[in-house]
Structure formats: structure tokens, C-alpha cells
């Protein structure tokens, strides 16, 4: 009976491990190195077996205490993404976790990688042990005999030119799912990073980001904290032709905005309005990144002398690069967003540039002297604004859509003291305008000279958001010929995550003045989700 139970237990254990291995197929997170110095740029390649066509994958950095340090939103195509993270200079020395995940599965599956970061100001002075993730099922890579690397010498001198040929078996080309990742980077044999799949039940489900980042949140009643249904929420992205979206909250007070076609740093403004003007509302924006979540277990290992000396060398190299402003990462030109021919409020009836006229001290004078069909009055500090309806030949009874740098404004006191010295141009639309089910009885759009939005007051119903939208793709730039007295201190000689697979490939690179061990690694993924690798090591002396 005991033997029978043991056999059943072993069978169940094997089935469980097989199920986990199958579940983890297709996941992967690889970085250019395993150990970094604060202030450097980390390069990453992400694999995720998504089957719902998301466009964004998130990559963030978690410190040893479970707090998110930084992150990026990276374009995701055909189950793969290539991106980078800037590692803050202020990070303390220790182990950190990289996480890669999709918004709609942020509460379920993340790909985690354990890396080491040294502070360049105190190095390893107070560090006695290394922390490495323990007890997790690591993502396995299969060493492929179908990828041959030739031409790499066992030893190179500093600043030496090198070339390698990579040969792929024809049968392998049929099995590959996407491009190759080819890298030539520094390695530290005594510290090897691991990647694994981390499953969690915490967090909220998100929408599938099929076109770009989704900004979301909830509108609540400020007095009761209850969600508000049917509130109108605007999102504006100021520009010469501003981006504009609106959303009417669901029964649970939720709203969503899609940021399609935006790359790099973006400033967005979100504001909400209730059906009852007396009701006080509050916008509660969701975090763009997933919550830090629980941490895996760590094991403490003794520091090897090789690890300590390599990190000390790298700290000196990075400090030197900072002094001489050496940066090997080059941002590529982002895809061009299709330019609108006119703003969302339509083609203006007239455009006025106040700078061409006499100086006027306030908006009442400006409207009277310069703006055709616009009537602004300020009686007893209760300003009113009306626009002429050219179709009916009389003024609209309601206030028009008023914009400052594309941002809708309802408080007319904001513009009453604006003079011609602040205004770049004014667009006037003297007709009824519909945008979805929004109706605008005319439009007055003011564009300021400074464009700093300083006149727009903060409130619970108005949120300013400065965020990094979809990350601009980058590449590793070639070292430039500089003063021979300034050494080349790169730890990464080659990094190309999008190499088109062919039978014969060539890789050329130049070593730097950094001594130590390096590897040329070729990585890819097969159509069945298996991750494969081929590697050739060498030393720079």
C-alpha cells in the first residue's frame, strides 16, 4: 500500500512539473548583463506568449524592499518587445527584480529577473553577501546545436577588432518564431541572473491595450466617496493641435482613455464634470504599473573575489563615463503620428493674433476690440462669455467651449485678467459644434505664449499627469573616434535584439579598455515556445 501511494505521489509530482513547464513556455526576460552600476542603462528583451494582441508590455524595477523604482511602457509585437530602463544613480547596492507583464494579466503572470546593481559612490564597501532568488522554477533555455558560432578567439587585447560568423541550420529556420537576439557583453561567472515566471492573485484586471497605453481611473463623490455614474471626463493632450477624448463614467464610476500614437514624455490633463453643478467630484487615477506584489525568497551567498573586482572596475568605468558624458544608447526616431489637419473643435471661423495689435490689459478689452462675434463681460466679478451664432445671427444663450492651450475651462475667472502680452493666438468658431454626443455652442480657443498651463487651477476634479508614453525604441550606438587619451570603457560591445534569421550571419565588434570575461550569445524562441541559446566565451586581457 505504501509503495502504491509513493508511485501515485511521484506521478502527480511529474504531472505538476510538466504542467508548470508547459505553462511557462514562451516566457522570457533577458538583459544585456547581470550586474550593473547605478546611472547605467539596462537593455532588455522580453518574450510573452500573448494571444490577445496587446501592443504594450510593461517593464519595471523593484527594490529589495518591494517598492517600484522605475518603469517603462514598451511596444509589444508578435509576442516580443525590446526596451531599456535608466537605472537611477541613487540606488543602493544590492539585488533588484525586473518584472515584465501585460496590463490585462498584471494580476496573474509576470516574468521576473534577478539582477545586481552597485551604487557607484559606496560600491561594495558594506556588502558582505549576495542575495539571489531561491526556490523558484527558473525559465529554461535549451542549448541549440543548430546554431554554430565561429571565428571567436579565446583571448583579445583591448581595443581590438573582432568578427564572428553565425551559421543556422536550415531546419531551425523553419522552427524560429521571430528574430534573433545577438549580444556581445561582459559576464561574471560567479553571478548568473535567473528569470522565472511569477504568478499572483493580487491586483486588478485591465483592458487589453491593443492600440497603446490605457489611462484609467474612477470618479467619486467627494462627500460620500461613492462612485459617480454618468459623469463626463475629458482627457486633453496639449499641442498646436490638441488631442482630446471624453468618457462618460460607467455605473461603477470607471473611465478609460486610449493613448494611441504617443511616444516619449507626454503631459495629459484629465478633468471631470457632473450632471449637477453643485456636486463635488474627485478623480482617482489608477497606477499605470502593477502593484509591487509579494517578493520571492532570497538566499544569501558569499561574495566571490571575481565578482568584487569586476564590480569595482565597472564602478570606476561608469564614473569616468559620467564625467566625460559618454552615452552608448541612441534613441531612434519614433513612428510619426498622423497629424490632424484641424483641431477636434473644427475649422475656426476666424483666427486672431493679438500680438499684431495694440496692448490690451484684459480679456474684456480683447473681446471688444479684437475678437469678432465674441462677447465677454465681467459685471460684479461674475464674468460671462458668449459667441455669435452665424447661422441664426444672434448670440448663443450658453457659454461656448472655452479652451486654454487645448484644455477645456469652465471657470471664466481664469481668463478675465489675460492681456494681449500673454496670448499667442485665439481660434473662434461661430457655429454649433458636435463631438460625439457633446454639444459646443461655439468655441473660443486661447493659445498662450508660454504654454505652461500656470493659469489653470488645480482641484480634485482636475489632474495633471506627466508620464512616459510608449517608449521610443533605442539602439546601441557605435563608439566614436575620440581623443586617444580618453579610454573606451564599454561593457557591452554589441546588442541587436532584432536580427533577421538567415543561414549565415556575421557580427563585427570592437573590444574596449575594460578587462574581463565576455560572451557572444545568440538567443531566439521557437514556434512551440521553447527558448534557445548558443554561446561563445572569450576574455579581454
On average, the pLDDT of the chain sits at 89
Percent of the chain predicted with pLDDT > 90: 68
The answer on 398 and 484 residing in a single domain is no
Does the residue 384 lie in any domain? Answer: yes
∠ Cα 471 473 478 (to 5°): 140
The residue among 411, 442, 462 that closes a domain is 462
In order of 18, 139, 147, 381, 420, the CA distances from 364 in angstroms are 75, 68, 75, 12, 11
Q: In the block, which residue shows the cell 469678432?
A: 372
What's phi and psi for 12, nearest 5 deg?
-60, -40
Query: Is the pLDDT higher at 56 or at 130?
Result: 56
Mean pLDDT of 245-271: 95
Residues 53 and 413: their CA atoms lie apart, in Å, by 47
The answer on 114 and 34 residing in a single domain is yes
Does the residue 448 lie in any domain? Answer: yes
What's phi and psi for 196, nearest 5 deg?
-155, 165
The answer on 153 and 90 residing in a single domain is yes
**Number of domains forming the structure of the chain:** 2
Q: Which triple of cell numbers denotes residue 318?
A: 561608469
The answer on 398 and 517 residing in a single domain is no
Query: Is the pLDDT higher at 121 or at 23?
Result: 121
The answer on 520 and 447 residing in a single domain is no
Residues 260 and 427: their CA atoms lie apart, in Å, by 26
Q: Which triple of cell numbers denotes residue 216?
A: 484609467
DSSP string across 128-139: -EEEEEES--BP
For 68-92, what is each residue's pLDDT tens digit? 999 999 999 989 999 999 999 999 9
The answer on 61 and 171 residing in a single domain is yes
Write down the H helix ranges in 207-247.
Answer: none
- The predicted model scores a pTM of 0.90
Residues 334 and 327: their CA atoms lie apart, in Å, by 19
The answer on 156 and 86 residing in a single domain is yes
The answer on 160 and 73 residing in a single domain is yes
The answer on 190 and 318 residing in a single domain is yes
What's phi and psi for 255, nearest 5 deg?
-140, 160
Residues 405 and 426: their CA atoms lie apart, in Å, by 10
The residue among 462, 483, 512 that closes a domain is 462
510 and 489 in contact (C-beta within 8 Å)? no
In 3D space, the residue among 541, 407, 522, 537 whose CA is nearest the CA of residue 145 turns out to be 522
Q: Is the dihedral of CA 479, 482, 488, 489 positive or negative?
A: negative
Using the predicted structure, report yes or no on whether residue 13 has a pLDDT greater than 70: no
CATH number at residue 434: 2.170.130
Confidence at residue 381, expressed as pLDDT on a 0 to 100 scale: 83
264: exposed, middle or buried (Cβ count in 10 Å: 0-12, 13-18, 19+):
exposed
How many Cβ atoms from other residues are within 10 Å of residue 430's Cβ? Answer: 21
The residue among 421, 439, 462 that closes a domain is 462
How many Cβ atoms from other residues are within 10 Å of residue 411's Cβ? Answer: 12
Does the residue 211 lie in any domain? Answer: no
The answer on 143 and 77 residing in a single domain is yes
The answer on 382 and 531 residing in a single domain is no
Query: Is the pLDDT higher at 489 or at 50?
Result: 489
Residues 349 and 387: their CA atoms lie apart, in Å, by 11
Does the residue 251 lie in any domain? Answer: no
For 384-422, what is each residue's pLDDT tens digit? 999 999 999 999 999 999 999 999 999 999 999 999 999
Does the residue 249 lie in any domain? Answer: no
Using the predicted structure, report yes or no on whether residue 426 has a pLDDT greater than 90: yes
97 and 31 in contact (C-beta within 8 Å)? no
The answer on 84 and 193 residing in a single domain is yes
Mean pLDDT of 282-311: 89
521 and 179 in contact (C-beta within 8 Å)? no
Does the residue 59 lie in any domain? Answer: yes
Q: Which triple of cell numbers denotes residue 267?
A: 503631459
Does the residue 74 lie in any domain? Answer: yes
Range of the domain at 313: 24-201+291-334+473-540
Confidence at residue 23, expressed as pLDDT on a 0 to 100 scale: 53
How many Cβ atoms from other residues are within 10 Å of residue 382's Cβ? Answer: 9
Residues 61 and 412: their CA atoms lie apart, in Å, by 44
Q: Which triple of cell numbers denotes residue 352?
A: 486672431
For 139-156, what is each residue's pLDDT tens digit? 999 999 999 999 999 999
For 445-470, what is each residue's pLDDT tens digit? 999 999 888 889 899 999 999 999 99
493: exposed, middle or buried (Cβ count in 10 Å: 0-12, 13-18, 19+):
buried
Q: Which triple of cell numbers denotes residue 21?
A: 513547464
Does the residue 242 lie in any domain? Answer: no
How many Cβ atoms from other residues are within 10 Å of residue 537's Cβ? Answer: 13
For 16-56, what is each residue's pLDDT tens digit? 444 444 456 899 999 999 999 999 999 999 999 877 678 99
Amino acid at each position: 500500500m505504501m509503495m502504491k501511494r509513493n508511485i501515485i505521489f511521484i506521478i502527480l509530482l511529474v504531472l505538476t512539473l510538466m504542467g508548470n513547464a508547459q505553462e511557462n513556455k514562451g516566457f522570457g526576460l533577458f538583459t544585456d548583463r547581470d550586474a550593473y552600476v547605478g546611472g547605467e542603462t539596462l537593455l532588455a528583451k522580453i518574450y510573452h506568449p500573448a494571444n490577445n494582441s496587446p501592443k504594450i508590455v510593461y517593464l519595471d524595477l523593484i527594490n529589495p524592499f518591494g517598492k517600484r523604482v522605475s518603469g517603462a511602457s514598451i511596444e509589444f509585437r508578435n509576442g516580443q518587445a525590446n526596451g531599456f530602463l535608466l537605472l537611477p544613480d541613487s540606488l543602493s547596492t544590492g539585488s533588484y527584480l525586473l518584472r515584465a507583464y501585460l496590463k490585462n494579466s498584471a494580476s496573474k503572470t509576470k516574468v521576473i529577473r534577478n539582477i545586481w546593481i552597485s551604487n557607484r559612490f559606496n560600491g561594495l564597501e558594506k556588502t558582505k553577501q549576495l542575495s539571489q532568488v531561491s526556490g523558484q522554477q527558473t525559465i529554461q533555455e535549451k542549448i541549440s546545436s543548430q546554431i554554430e558560432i565561429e571565428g571567436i578567439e579565446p583571448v583579445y587585447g583591448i581595443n581590438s577588432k573582432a568578427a564572428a560568423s553565425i551559421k543556422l541550420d536550415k531546419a531551425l529556420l523553419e522552427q524560429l518564431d521571430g528574430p534573433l537576439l545577438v549580444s556581445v557583453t561582459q559576464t561574471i561567472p560567479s553571478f548568473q541572473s535567473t528569470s522565472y515566471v511569477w504568478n499572483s492573485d493580487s491586483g486588478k484586471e485591465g483592458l487589453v491595450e491593443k492600440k497603446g497605453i490605457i489611462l484609467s481611473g474612477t470618479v467619486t463623490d467627494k462627500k460620500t466617496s461613492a462612485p459617480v455614474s454618468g459623469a463626463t471626463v475629458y482627457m486633453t493632450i496639449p499641442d498646436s493641435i490638441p488631442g482630446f477624448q471624453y468618457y462618460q463614467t460607467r455605473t461603477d464610476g470607471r473611465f478609460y482613455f486610449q493613448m494611441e500614437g504617443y511616444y516619449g514624455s507626454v503631459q495629459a490633463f484629465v478633468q471631470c464634470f457632473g450632471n449637477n453643478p453643485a456636486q463635488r467630484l474627485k478623480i482617482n487615477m489608477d497606477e499605470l504599473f502593477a502593484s509591487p506584489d509579494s517578493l520571492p525568497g532570497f538566499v544569501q551567498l558569499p561574495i566571490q573575489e571575481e565578482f568584487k573586482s569586476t564590480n569595482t572596475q565597472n564602478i570606476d568605468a561608469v564614473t569616468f563615463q559620467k564625467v566625460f558624458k559618454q552615452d552608448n544608447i541612441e534613441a531612434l526616431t519614433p513612428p510619426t503620428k498622423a497629424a490632424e489637419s484641424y483641431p477636434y473643435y473644427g475649422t475656426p471661423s476666424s483666427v486672431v493674433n493679438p500680438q499684431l495689435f495694440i496692448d490690451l490689459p484684459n480679456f474684456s478689452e480683447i473681446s471688444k476690440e479684437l475678437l469678432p462675434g465674441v462677447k465677454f463681460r465681467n459685471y460684479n466679478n461674475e464674468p460671462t462669455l458668449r459667441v455669435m451664432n452665424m447661422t441664426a445671427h444672434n448670440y448663443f444663450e450658453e457659454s461656448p467651449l472655452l479652451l486654454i492651450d487645448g484644455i477645456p475651462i469652465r471657470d471664466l475667472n481664469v481668463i478675465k485678467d489675460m492681456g494681449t502680452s500673454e496670448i499667442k493666438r485665439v481660434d473662434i468658431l461661430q457655429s454649433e459644434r458636435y463631438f460625439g454626443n457633446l454639444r459646443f455652442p461655439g468655441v473660443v480657443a486661447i493659445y498662450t505664449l508660454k504654454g505652461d498651463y500656470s493659469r489653470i487651477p488645480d482641484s480634485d476634479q482636475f489632474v495633471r499627469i506627466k508620464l512616459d508614453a510608449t517608449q521610443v525604441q533605442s539602439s546601441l550606438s557605435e563608439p566614436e573616434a575620440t581623443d586617444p587619451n580618453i579610454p573606451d570603457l564599454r561593457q557591452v560591445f554589441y546588442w541587436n535584439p532584432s536580427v533577421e534569421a538567415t543561414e549565415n550571419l556575421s557580427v563585427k565588434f570592437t573590444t574596449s579598455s575594460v578587462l574581463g570575461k565576455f560572451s557572444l550569445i545568440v538567443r531566439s524562441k521557437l514556434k512551440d515556445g521553447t527558448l534557445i541559446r548558443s554561446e561563445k566565451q572569450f576574455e579581454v586581457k
